[in-house]
Amino acid sequence: MTIAVKPIAGALGAEISGVNVGDDLDDSTIVEIRQALLDHQVIFFRDQDLDVPRHKAFTRRFGELFVHPNFQFGQDNPEIVYVRREPGDRQVLGQGWHADTTMMATPPMGAILYALEVPAMGGDTLFANQYLAYNALSTGMKYMLDGLRAVHNDTRIAGPGTGLNAERASQVREDEDWRPTETAHPVVRTHPETGRKCLFVNGIYVHHFEGMTVAESQPLLDYLYAHAVRPEFTCRFRWRPGSIAFWDNRCTLHLAVHDNHDAVRHMQRTQIA
């Protein structure tokens, strides 16, 4: 192997060293990085130098670039989302446990987040392993969830009714022309590369189970949301400038910790279709 892989927690997460992802990497190194992602669900790199072209080029080695529909303001690089927190922000992008953009019919395979500026303390990101979350369910619960579908939409995180842009520096579409996107996904999904089953619900995008009311769905959803992020399923990443987190969106949840309200946190993100 040309890379070194060091797990950072028992549940998931590994730090990768021995590689500069901004270089023109050979195919065998990309295969190793992808295998590390499949093995550990989220991988981290330190001391990287990624301008926009290199960030996009590295992302393309794993799939096509995904363009997020709620961050389109006519910018030069629609594939790049800047996740920014300014002093005094009352909310931050991604502060609830979620997988990314799950209202889409085919949600992104993954995301690559690069740190441009981070606070001296705070602003960590947490990740949760949804293979473990599924495996820890009882046989009866697995049987009940089998075949159940959850309805995901983006009405909590975009659109003119949210008022989020007044609360934070990271802006989303809130114009009157915006329309919600909604898709039903299986509550239990089989990962297309590993063949492993994982839980696939999150409190940002899921509104109810298909064929059930919100009131009927909520008790079970609340249980699954709490179960999915039990501490023993998680890892925590401390950012430094030049750090990268690359997560598998198909089998993890993540959360941005909003614990330093007086500092700038500026990140650059791509997503993989």
Catalytic residues: 98, 100, 254, 269
Alpha carbon 208 to its chain centroid, in Å, reads 21
C-alpha span between 246 and 12 (Å, rounded): 12
Q: Is residue 110 a contact partner of residue 62, using CB atoms and an 8 Å limit? A: yes
Could you please report the per-residue DSSP string of 76-87? S-TT-EEEEE-T
Show the tokens assigned to 76. Answer: 């030069």
The per-residue b/e assignment along 142-180, b for 16 or more CB within 10 angstroms, e otherwise, is eeebeebbbbbbbebbbbeebebeeebbbebbbeeebee
Q: How far is CA 197 from CA 6, 145, 192, 193, in A?
A: 25, 12, 10, 11
